[in-house]
Chain A
Amino acid sequence: MALSPTVILRQIGQILSKDLLIEWRARSRGFALACFALTLLLLFSFAVGADATTLRTHAGAYLWMSIFLSSTLLLAQSMAHEVEAGALDTLVLAPISPAALFFGKALANAGQLVLLAAVALPPVIALFDAPLRESPLRLAAVVVAGCLGVAAPGTLYAALTARLQSRQLLLPLLLFPLLVPCLLASVKATSLLMSGDPMHQVNAWLGLLLAFDLLYWSICGLLFGRVIES
């Protein structure tokens, strides 16, 4: 039965609020995830050494690597509690559009990733002495677009690997190569916003990010139904 767009939008909202409520009730998990991201930032600086110039130059890369590496834990967890309690089977049987399920869950994951980036950004600026030289609004746009880029394929692959025994290994193995254009564009745009953008290149990288988002939010929305039915 085809559902009307209004119903699908309402279902997206319901799935989104359900997932955010679950995460809010398990706040300690989110706190642990933020601590993990901060630990990664420290590890990068230890690995590179106390070279202030290098750390400042690559501050954007450290920020996004910590978000990407933390994201697999977040994404896997978002599907784990659906599978463990059999909730996903119930959701599949319920009159909910698979697309609504995908967009609701992916938006919830994207929202949490944006929050994680907001927590990780001040330490990046402080630890690596990388002040923002361009508009914070443009950085916010890059962060949101980058997190949306991680969330769409991440949610699909988290669902795809959720019932497999080697899911902890498979999720990053499948997801990270796919995210290379997203990582590249996010890091380049963030680094330019931190170091200055005299050649106005940020918009081109932001455009690439938005194209990536559009492509993967469309494809993953189409394929998600087949994944959860399998």
Chain B
Amino acid sequence: MATTQSGGLRWEHGLLALGLALLAVGHVQGLFFAPAEAMMGDVGRILYVHVPTAWADMLVYTACFGFAVAALWTGKATYDAAVEASAEVGVLYNALLLFQGSVWARPTWGVFWTWDPRLTTSAVVLVLFLGVLVLRRVIPEPERRLNLSAIAAVLAYVGVPIVYFSVKWWRTLHQPFSSPQTVDGSFITPLRLAAFGMIFLGAGLIGLRWRALRRGLERDLATPDLPAAAPALRLPGEAGGSAAGGAL
């Protein structure tokens, strides 16, 4: 990987360190210093993990959408790598979000999962971006992969505003939008610290993956595609067959 080969510290390492530090401070404040939530007691402290993950996940998906538009616009490998990196981090955060939500739902709603609009739309967006990642792995031609996965990412992003507004559009068990006006003042600082922690951590993770992916994608895009008929010319059983679409 480029970072380890060069051996130096890069901006993404700084973001990771900053994110982890903010998360640590925010979680210590939330767990030990902030008062317990009035209705849920100590169970409500998962708020400092779950809500920042949700905010950061929305931002990561929005970044993925922006990178996808830039990739379509410019055709550059650097944006293509950023689409893949941000989709991976978005999926990771989304899976974490659903897991944390289930852990929280069990003591408060009595079930791990309910077909609530917020939960359902979040799960749908997870599957949509998983589809983008699967699509990238089955397209061997770099230029086609850039275009088609960016288009799939743009279409997948349409689900993100639906997740955000789902608590407003439908009757839901999930709490409505949170803001400094809707929570007690003592909750705000640990929430903000953890939220910026998740955002910087996500940005650092995207940076790490982007750097690892970019060089390979730039090399792929600089190499002209082989003619589509070339693999068919090989004799049966001949070694070195094309890996085209072999992932699935």
Contacts and interface: CB of A to CB of B under 8 A. Distances in A.
Q: Do A and B come from one complex?
A: yes
Interface of A: 153, 156, 160, 163-166, 169-170, 173-174, 177-178, 180-181, 215-216, 219-220, 223, 226-227, 229-230
Chain B interface helix/strand/loop/mixed = helix
Contacts of A177: 124, 127-128, 131, 159
A174 B135 contact: yes
Chain A interface helix/strand/loop/mixed = helix
Interface string B101-139: 000000000000000000011001001100100110011
Contacts of B131: 170, 173-174, 177
A97 to B, nearest CB: 18
Contacts, number: 64
B244 A165 contact: yes
Contacts of A219: 154-155, 158
A209 to B, nearest CB: 14
B147 A170 contact: no
A7 B12 CA distance: 52
B162 A181 contact: yes
Interface of B: 72, 120-121, 124, 127-128, 131, 134-135, 138-139, 143-144, 147-148, 151-152, 154-156, 158-159, 162, 244-245, 247-248
Nearest to B156: A178
Name the residue among B144, B151, B158 with the largest chain A CB count within 10 angstroms: B151
Name the residue among A153, A220, A230 with the largest chain B CB count within 10 angstroms: A230
A169 B245 CA distance: 12
Contacts of B248: 165-166, 169-170
24 contacts: A153-B155, A160-B151, A160-B152, A166-B138, A166-B247, A170-B134, A170-B138, A174-B135, A177-B127, A177-B128, A177-B131, A178-B155, A216-B158, A219-B155, A220-B155, A223-B154, A226-B147, A227-B147, A227-B148, A227-B151, A229-B147, A230-B143, A230-B144, A230-B147
Contacts of A226: 72, 147, 151
Contacts of A223: 151, 154-155
Contact of A178 (B128, B135, B138): B128
